Amino acid sequence: MDFRLTDDQRALRRGVRALLEGRFGREALRAALDRADGEGAAGGRERADGRLRGDGRVLDRGLWRELGAAGFFALRLPEGGGGAGQGLPEAVLAFEEAGRVLLPGPLIATHLAAGAVAGAATGEAVVTSADGGLVEWLDEADVVLGDVTGAEPLAPLDPLTPVHRLPGAGAARTPDGLLVSLLSAAEQLGSAARTCEIAAQHARTREQFGRPVGAFQAVQHLCADMLVRVETARAAVYAASVTADPADVAAARLLADEAAVRGARDCLQVHGGMGFTWESDVHLHLKRAWTRTHRAGGATRSEEELAEDLVSGAV
């Protein structure tokens, strides 16, 4: 047993991080936000009541193809078939990086469609999929999996995740719900780790009452609890990527959802008023984290699965 990342896994993580930092740094994030937002910051007043302005194209297709070229979507396809021959652990590391930088788009659906839907593996096609009562990125997807009849657009809480509601779909489980849960958990983990870093960074530098706010025990403890949730979730997510056991995946998603949502909220609290502005990125982490909690049946289903696991099998 050696749970640590292998050298190859570390290299993969470094590679994805470098790619995303280069191609989806803060400026690109804010530019995407302005596109989603119609007229950018100046359009804020219109945005408040939920209308999308502009042409509605938010995804950067060039970036999507670059992701494809870098193997983000084909990561788990066999090496002979144009893939990188990697496994779920490597996919989880890549999606964790995507979560860190708030990379937009139906990444999970496209990744899962690689090899099955033409163009998905290479990033030529944007693929989305119905998931329970929601479907993300319907208007910008080239291929839509599942029945989306009667889909109605919402004014999306997360400006970088357009969503449609599906009528009467309830919480029907998609066949690949397990992988959606796992990869979504990986994104949550990345977001949680990032908001913990942002909070600590802010606490080290922001001064109030003549000292960095991070010298106040109350702020220290908020940050410490954030890290505890991140590291606990990390252990669960990485382990689930190795075992692919349904109960492990359910545990990973529960803990990662919580780490991401509470992390973003605590990060906001540490930032005080400054985090409350549109210019801050903290709210984007919170809105995305909230959005992800709705995937694959949500926390309730995961908790029920984990309860059932307690009485059904061996521990």
Partner 1 sequence: MDLTYTPEEEEFRARLRTWLAGVLPTLPPKPSPHDWPARRAYDLGWQRMLYDAGYAGLHWPVDAGGRGATPTQHLIYLEETEKAGAPYVGANFVGLLHAGPTVASEGSAEQRARWLPPVLRGEEVWCQGFSEPDAGSDLAALRTRAWRDGDDYVVSGSKIWTSHAEVADWCELLVRTAPGARKHRGITWLAMPMDAPGITVRPLRTLAGSTEFAEVFLDEVRVPAANRVGAENDGWRVTMVTLSYERGTAFVGEVVACRRVLSEVAREARKNGRWDDAALRRRLGGLNAEFRALWRLTQWNVSEAQGTGGVPGVGGSVFKLAYSHARQELFDAAAEVLGPDALDLGREWTLDRLSSLSYTIAAGTSQIQRNIVAERILGLPRGR
The residue within the footprint of partner 1, chosen from 104, 214, 263, 297 (CB under 8 A), is 214
By CB under 8 A, residue 216 contacts its own copies = yes
89 binds partner 1 (CB under 8 A): yes
Stretch that binds its own copies, among 30-38, 214-222, 272-280, 289-297 (CB under 8 A): 214-222
307 binds, among its own copies, partner 1, none (CB under 5 to 8 A by kind): partner 1
Tokens representing 233 are 């979730």
Among 18, 155, 157, 218, binds its own copies (CB under 8 A): 218
Min dist CB 255 to partner 1, Å, is 6
Q: With CB cut-offs between 5 and 8 Å by kind, which of its own copies, partner 1, none does residue 283 bind?
A: partner 1
Rg (CA), the chain: 19
Nearest to 51, CA basis, from 166, 167, 162: 162
DSSP letters of 10-51? HHHHHHHHHHHHHHSSHHHHHHHHHHHTSSGGGGHHHHTTT-
Using the rule CB under 8 A, which residue among 3, 27, 55, 149 binds partner 1?
A: 3
| Structure tokens given for 254 | 């529960």
- Rounded Cα distance between 159 and 311, Å, is 42
CA 38, CA 46: separation in Å to the nearest integer? 9
Residue 51 contacts its own copies per CB under 8 A: no
Contact of residue 242 among partner 1, its own copies, none (CB under 5-8 Å per partner type)? partner 1
Least distance from C-beta 122 to partner 1, angstroms? 27
Q: Considering CB distances under 5 to 8 angstroms, the limit depending on partner class, which of partner 1, its own copies, none binds residue 50?
A: partner 1
Burial class (CB in 10 A: 0-12, 13-18, 19+), 114: buried
Q: Is 221 in the site for its own copies (CB under 8 A)?
A: yes
Residue 145 bridge partners (DSSP) = 129
Stretch 154-213 residues interacting with partner 1 (CB under 8 A): 154-158, 163, 165, 196, 200, 203-204, 207-212
Number of CB atoms found within 10 A of residue 98's CB: 24
Q: Is 217 in the site for its own copies (CB under 8 A)?
A: yes
At closest approach, how far in Å is the CB of 109 from its own copies? 38
- What number of CA atoms fall less than 13 Å from residue 47's CA on the CB side? 20
Query: Using the rule CB under 8 A, is 219 a contact of partner 1?
Result: yes
Nearer to its own copies, 216 or 290 (CB): 216
User: Which residue in the set 34, 220, 244, 246 belongs to the binding site for partner 1 (CB under 8 A)?
Assistant: 220
> What are the angstrom distances between the C-alpha of 115 and each of 43, 91, 94, 98, 120?
40, 15, 18, 21, 7
| Closer residue to partner 1, CB minimum distance, 114 or 261 | 261
Interface of this chain with partner 1, residues 22 to 41, rule: CB under 8 A: 41
Helical segments of 206-243, H only = 217-243
DSSP code, position 5: P
How many residues bind partner 1 (CB under 8 A)? The answer is 97
Short-list 52, 246, 241, CA closest to 162: 52
Is residue 268 a contact residue for partner 1 (CB under 8 A)?
yes
| Least gap, CB of 64 to its own copies (angstroms) | 47
Q: What are the residues binding its own copies (CB under 8 A)?
A: 216-218, 221
